[in-house]
Amino acid sequence: MSDVYDKPSAGELFNGGRQLALPGVSTVIRDKFQTLTRSNLPDTIRLAVIGRRNSEATPDPDAAADFTPVIVRTEQQVVDHFGEGSELHRGFLEAVSAGAPRVVLISWGDETDVNWAEDLGDGITRLDRAFEAAEAVQADIIVPWGRGGDVDEPDIGLYADDQGLLTEVANKCKEITDRSNPCFAVMGVSPAVGTDGLGSSDLTSHIDGLELDPRESIHPYVCVVVTELRPVGYLRALGFQQGDDEAPWANGAATYGGFLATLQPEVASTGKRLYNIRELRYAPTRVQQEEMVGLGLTPVKQNFSREAVVVDGLTYSPEGSDYARLSTLRIVFAAIELVRQTAENYVGYPATMHHRNAMDTAIGSQLRGLIVEGALIDADYNIAYAAAENTARIDLILTPAFEMRNIEVSISIRL
């Protein structure tokens, strides 16, 4: 991909890599001309949570070793590997309560390790190793975990307004997308200072005080969610009671990431209700919501039924970017994955007219499948062959199906 992501050529987007499963149900749509297929593996999206384990939680050092991705299916497995109440335990609870079907947990250290940029040798940092593990399992969504709530200690995990971390995470996601599978990160912000009954003025001060890296350096590889919440059963699972002074809050990143893992790429999170949310620490006013959206942030509000709702599905991309909408980014990523999966089947075959025509037909079939499903409005492509270099270049021109964001209802009375 090019350094400026807003208007990449499709040939740069096609950057041969490993196959990656798409979310959703496999679909075969037939018409009188040809069969349109969309290939899916049954394990759905992989959500990777990067956090810390408890220092004493090493009953099986090989399984719980730092930077080793662990695919967990039960809470007890998480506790056995990483310790009860650890960051990874909390991240698992937050993601699963929101509906995440597959969760991979990656430890970047224990609670005594407080510097994600620590050099482990040869210029490789803890964060580098953690993202290498996420790439190895081909995670679609990566969540660097941070805690919510007004805590006394400054060490609250990984969060977007940590100096330089936001840009570092975005760069890591860009590198993985360029050389391997498309992915993006979801991050939360540091906790708001104040009591649990956070007032409007406190929240305004919190928003104004966020020291986020400039959006121009991020591109669309990160979503920054601004909220603090508690999923259903969260406190009980962590050994707390409702009303306890030290009862924890989640910063919403793992919850939002888990919710996104349930959506098809063409379905935006805008206006969608988050699953299994017991309470929000603060509910932004309309003015505060507009301010956050203008900053490229993703706020969470309460609707008329007092349910937690995503206000707007954004990426933290520069203003005016083609990829400001998360749904647009995910649709493009879905098209990239399908083209990669299809084209990879022809690697190693002779570049004869027969195989060229077969690859052309197969790619056209996959893109038409996305159009029929409603993810794309139109798609055009061109395949250029360089025989001397043993290379084929595929240029895609995609028109995503942009989301419906506003509905106006006009009412009149007939007398």
Stretch (H or E) spanning 250: strand 249-250
In DSSP notation, 121-178 reads STT-BHHHHHHHHHHHTT-SEEEE-BEES--SSS--B--TTSTTHHHHHHHHHHHHHH
Token pair belonging to 405: 């964001």
User: Is it the case that residue 390 has pLDDT exceeding 50?
Assistant: yes
CA 244 vs CA 196, 247, 280: distances in Å: 11, 5, 16
Buried b (16+ CB within 10 A) or exposed e, 108-123: bbbbebeebeeeeeee
Token pair belonging to 93: 């609870």
Cβ-proximal residues to 312 (8 Å cutoff; 6+ apart), any chain: 270, 293, 298, 299, 405
Q: Provide the pLDDT confidence category of residue 33 given band limits of 50, 70 and 90.
A: very low
Question: Quick one: pLDDT at residue 151?
Answer: 58
Helix axis angle for 253-260 and 87-97, nearest 10°, is 40
Tell me which amino acid residue 175 is.
E
Question: Quick one: pLDDT at residue 135?
Answer: 93
d(CA 336, CA 352) in angstroms, rounded, equals 24
Q: Which of 11-15, 189-193, 410-414 has the lowest mean pLDDT?
A: 11-15
Stretch (H or E) spanning 380: strand 376-386
The whole-number average pLDDT for the span 285-302 is: 93
Query: Percent of the chain beyond pLDDT 90?
Result: 44
User: Is it the case that residue 224 has pLDDT exceeding 70?
Assistant: yes
Q: Which of 10-14, 224-228, 267-271, 375-379 has the lowest mean pLDDT?
A: 10-14
How, if at all, do strands 141-144 and 47-53 pair? parallel
Question: Quick one: pLDDT at residue 75?
Answer: 92
Tell whether the torsion through CA atoms of 261, 263, 264 and 268 is positive or negative: negative
Provide the number of structural domains found in the chain.
1
Q: Provide the pLDDT confidence category of residue 387 given band limits of 50, 70 and 90.
A: confident
Question: Quick one: pLDDT at residue 404?
Answer: 82
- What tens digit of pLDDT does each residue of 117-145 get? 999 989 999 999 999 999 999 999 999 99
Q: Provide the pLDDT confidence category of residue 8 given band limits of 50, 70 and 90.
A: very low
Query: Percent of the chain beyond pLDDT 70?
Result: 85
User: Is it the case that residue 286 has pLDDT exceeding 60?
Assistant: yes
Q: Which domain holds residue 303?
A: 1-415
How many C-beta neighbours within 10 Å does residue 40 have? 17
Classified as helix, coil or strand, 61 is: helix
Helix axis angle for 286-294 and 200-209, nearest 10°, is 10
Q: Provide the pLDDT confidence category of residue 216 given band limits of 50, 70 and 90.
A: confident
Q: Provide the pLDDT confidence category of residue 60 given band limits of 50, 70 and 90.
A: low
CA 152 vs CA 148, 193, 211, 246, 297: distances in Å: 12, 10, 20, 10, 26
Question: Quick one: pLDDT at residue 325?
Answer: 92
The whole-number average pLDDT for the span 9-24 is: 33
d(CA 158, CA 148) in angstroms, rounded, equals 11
Q: Provide the pLDDT confidence category of residue 384 given band limits of 50, 70 and 90.
A: confident
- What tens digit of pLDDT does each residue of 191-209 get? 988 766 667 788 888 898 8
Q: What is the pTM of this model?
A: 0.85
Question: Quick one: pLDDT at residue 4?
Answer: 35
Token pair belonging to 259: 């919710």
Q: Provide the pLDDT confidence category of residue 12 given band limits of 50, 70 and 90.
A: very low
The whole-number average pLDDT for the span 23-44 is: 35
Question: Quick one: pLDDT at residue 73?
Answer: 86
Classified as helix, coil or strand, 307 is: coil
To the nearest 5 percent, what fractions of the chain are helix, strand and coil? Answer: 30, 20, 50
Q: Provide the pLDDT confidence category of residue 116 given band limits of 50, 70 and 90.
A: very high
Average pLDDT, the chain: 83
Question: Quick one: pLDDT at residue 40?
Answer: 43
Question: Quick one: pLDDT at residue 152?
Answer: 62
- What tens digit of pLDDT does each residue of 43-54 get? 457 899 999 999
Question: Quick one: pLDDT at residue 340?
Answer: 83
CB 76 within 8 A of CB 59: no
The whole-number average pLDDT for the span 218-235 is: 93
Question: Quick one: pLDDT at residue 35?
Answer: 41
Q: Provide the pLDDT confidence category of residue 7 given band limits of 50, 70 and 90.
A: very low
d(CA 137, CA 87) in angstroms, rounded, equals 20
